[in-house]
Chains A and B, each alone.
Chain A
Amino acid sequence: MSDFEDRLAALDPTAGQPYEHQNLESMISRVTRQSTVTKSRVWRNFQLKMAGALGASALLTAGALTTFSSGPGLAVLAISGSNNTPAPLSAKQTYSGAMEIYEVFNFSAGPGLSTATPSSPSYELQIPANGSSEAARLATIFGVSGTPVDTNGDGSDWTVTDASGGTLNYVNTSVPEWYFSSTSTAAAASSDAASLSALPSNSSVDALAQSYVAKLGYGYGLSTPGFGSSTSSTLNTDGSTASALSTSDVSYSVLVDGISTSQQLNFSVNSNDHVVSASGPAFDVGAAQNYPLQSLQAGIAALNAAQQSRFPVASSLPTTGAGANAGASATTTTTPSGPPTVNVTLDSYSLRYATYDLTDGSTWLLPVYRYAGNATNSDATTYKSSWDELAINPSYVSVSATSTSGPTKGVVNY
């Protein structure tokens, strides 16, 4: 297991405490005795527990749809709240993929942070209109002969394969992605420690990758490349190596207007100067839309506002003496409990683009402030980190609680 895999395993919240249902056999009996219902007794009980905790007060729904007035010629960006990162008005550090750390952040602007409000346009992504045609075009570029096959029967995934072992896969996600791989004998190269020295140089790999990118014809730019090398092996049942392949690898961040997006482009090249795998996004950008940005200080205020509802906190319970002769009031307070506060001084920022799905089905690149600074824990230890906040002025943004774009991959709807 690699180092990062070991560290990820150590981070697993369930490590050492695997889940066990408190009464599994009773659950099986209960479920199989149920008749078809539209909502289960169990789920209703869970919801009632939540509703009971809220009482009769109006529900505070995260991401409620609200309407803002828009500036002249600029439509409000109706962002789907289900699948965007960073979500508007929330600190990037608070993500939902793993358990939340029991702490809240208190952000402040350091003296080095600019007081000027940046500007940066927003872009709607131009996506290839026909997945099959795009898959065929890309297959031709990578030398894969064949007709695109609708892998899942729904137009979301197209695959072109040929007898020589080349495969081109085109996936229609919100930002479509393409993948190429080759297992042909022309591409294969034996591998041992000595053959690593025969791998192409960084400049050769970069030049080869750039030649393909030019043919792809998408309108994005690329960052300075990052280089590496890797060896992948397949093993026999006795553990001996059946085959191995070493490659020189290059990766780029995809840029728009010179600003980094969250997209990556990757190429792997073997000692025969043959591309054995490559992947990247498939999009161009439309005309720039100049949505006003909020100030950097307003972005920090938004980061702080998002901290308020992360964890419940105790309120002080003052009690005062009653009656005309009470004299000095007596106040009893409980010691406030709650998460420790991490004070963060943000002293620099950079602009990045993040992809957002809108409720009308379009996908946009919107500017995001990436603040960087020093965090001080309650025990006075410090660390450097970064936090993201959507830069668009909130007057031009609305967030829906649910996505209206149809079935979500990886979720079984019922």
Chain B
Amino acid sequence: MGSRDEDRFARLVREHTPAIGNYLRRRLYPLTPDHLDDLVEETMIVVWRRLKDVPPDAELPWMIGVARNVLRNARRSKNRRSAFEATLQPVADDRSAEEYVIADTNLRDALASLNDDDREFLLLNAWDGLDTHALGSLYVISTNAAAVRLSRVQSRFRELLGAADVH
């Protein structure tokens, strides 16, 4: 690969690493800083290898697509470790137990009531900042379909949150 490719890759990394790291950290927990850096680097290795496939108008959603595959592999390894380490000493973790607690239990319940796909769709927009065009790129659906789906999921979430707040 030439220096132009290296320049483009470097720009992609500097611009999108925070978003990729945040995407991974939100979904695989707990994770030490070293492990998180490992997963980010794994994602960027694929980006480098497939640099010519990165669409110029949808760089971040494409890279999140790579990160999702990295995440899937990482989860399988984590599940195997967790199942075994249930019989062993706890692994040292940088976070205290208090930092795990979420106070807004109604919001948590409403999120849990969504199915996996809808919840991921909602959070890709709410947390990872993907708009309907980016969501359409990531899910390989039209922007219109992504907009309608997002609206539907948000409406459903509002209903669930309203119901949870009643309790």
Question: In the complex, how many residue pairs between chain A and chain B have their CB atoms under 8 Å apart?
Answer: 270
Nearest 3 A/B pairs, CB to CB: A19-B21, A102-B100, A412-B65
Q: Which A residues are in CB contact (< 8 Å) with B78?
A: 50
With known contacts A19-B18, A266-B155, A12–B127 Cβ distance under 8 A:
yes
In the complex, residue of chain A having the shortest beta-carbon distance to the beta carbon of B117: A83
Bound-complex Cα distance A409 to B107 (A): 27
7 pairs, CB–CB < 8 Å, chain A vs chain B: A20-B21, A27-B40, A179-B145, A277-B151, A308-B86, A313-B90, A385-B105
Q: For residue A6, give the distance in angstroms from its CB to the closest CB of chain B.
A: 10
With known contacts A50-B81, A159-B144, A315-B88, A102–B97 Cβ distance under 8 A:
yes
Bound-complex Cα distance A84 to B117 (A): 9
- Judge whether A54 and B80 touch: CB under 8 Å: yes
Bound-complex Cα distance A251 to B159 (A): 10
How many residues of chain A get a CB closer than 8 Å to chain B's CBs? 99
Q: Which A residues are in CB contact (< 8 Å) with B112?
A: 92-93, 95
With known contacts A169-B144, A277-B148, A312–B115 Cβ distance under 8 A:
no
Chain B proximity mask over A26-68: 1 for CB below 8 Å, otherwise 0 = 0110111010100010110111011001110101111000000
How many residues of chain B get a CB closer than 8 Å to chain A's CBs? 96
- Judge whether B115 and A354 touch: CB under 8 Å: yes
Q: Which B residues are in CB contact (< 8 Å) with A313?
A: 86, 90
- Judge whether A181 and B100 touch: CB under 8 Å: no
With known contacts A12-B127, A31-B45, A410–B26 Cβ distance under 8 A:
no
Chain A proximity mask over B110-129: 1 for CB below 8 Å, otherwise 0 = 01110111011011001100
- Judge whether B18 and A18 touch: CB under 8 Å: yes
Q: For residue B51, give the distance in angstroms from its CB to the closest CB of chain A.
A: 10
- Judge whether B120 and A151 touch: CB under 8 Å: no
- Judge whether A40 and B117 touch: CB under 8 Å: no
In the complex, residue of chain A having the shortest beta-carbon distance to the beta carbon of B45: A40
In the complex, residue of chain B having the shortest beta-carbon distance to the beta carbon of A91: B112
With known contacts A311-B82, A312-B90, A179–B149 Cβ distance under 8 A:
yes
